[in-house]
Amino acid sequence: MSVITISKEFSSGGLEIAKGLAEKLGYDYFDKEIVRKIADHAKVTHQEVREFEEEEHANFRAYLSRLIDLDIFKKGPAEEEAEQETTYDERDKIPYSFDTQGWIDSDIYRDMICKVISELGQNSNVIIVGRGGQCILREQPGVVHIRIIASMADRIARLQVDKPELDEDAARREVEAMDKKSREYINFYFKADWDDPRLYDAVINTSRVSDSKAIDCLAALCG
């Protein structure tokens, strides 16, 4: 197999498994690098993209983009004059060509995340973590979609190893909040259910399978 997407419940060991699988298979690993690609194309800082991803996805900029013509941020005067007969809806069918001139909203973000991940999906031997890869590449042949889950108790325990200052209740709240963001992200951008098992080819429960065993199993499946 040439492309693997990995969706993970927060603090389920998904990141460790994804990195270990990439190392075992010799695959390129893409996670935070996707933020850099979006930022470079949008002509905004990496921090702006990170902050945008952390916002509630039904946010003010998403609402604003539907009220005003944001082409004033995306095109120069000559381009505006040449396209003055084009409606927003018609333009919306075509990617922004990444000429956004320092502006990002939910529509631009979705176009870019789809294009970046679609382009990565055309490569060989890559692992794509999160950001709706299981939805964007859902119908593409040769892609394996993996889901990593674990029990709440084990996820809380993992998180407390990384953040020993958190008591059990605080750790649970953080796990639940992060899952809520992931669930809303997939629903907002792709109108899909993050928990739908039909989005995935294999589901690994790290409460029942160790990280190392999970890596070995996935390497056998995907290698």
- Residue 114 binned pLDDT confidence (cut-offs 50, 70, 90): confident
Give kind and range of the element (H or E) at residue 7: strand 3-8
- The predicted-structure confidence for 64-97, as pLDDT tens digits, reads as follows 444 444 444 444 444 444 444 433 344 344 344 4
pLDDT at 89: 41
- What is the bridge-based pairing of β-strands 3-8 and 28-30? unpaired
pLDDT in tens, 130-179: 889 999 999 888 899 999 999 999 999 999 999 999 999 999 999 999 99
Domains in the chain, ordered, with CATH? 1-27+125-223 (3.40.50.300), 34-123 (no CATH)
Examine the pLDDT at 101 and tell me if it is beyond 60. Answer: no
Measured between alpha carbons, how far is 30 from 3 in angstroms, rounded to an integer?
11
Q: What integer pLDDT is reported at residue 1 of this predicted model?
A: 59
Residues 6+ apart with CB under 8 A from 184: 56, 57, 58
Residue keyed to tokens 């690994």: 204
Mean pLDDT of the chain: 79
Ramachandran angles phi, psi of 128, nearest 5°:
-115, 120
pTM attached to this predicted model: 0.74
pLDDT score of 106 more than 80 = no
Rounded mean pLDDT of 32-47? 72
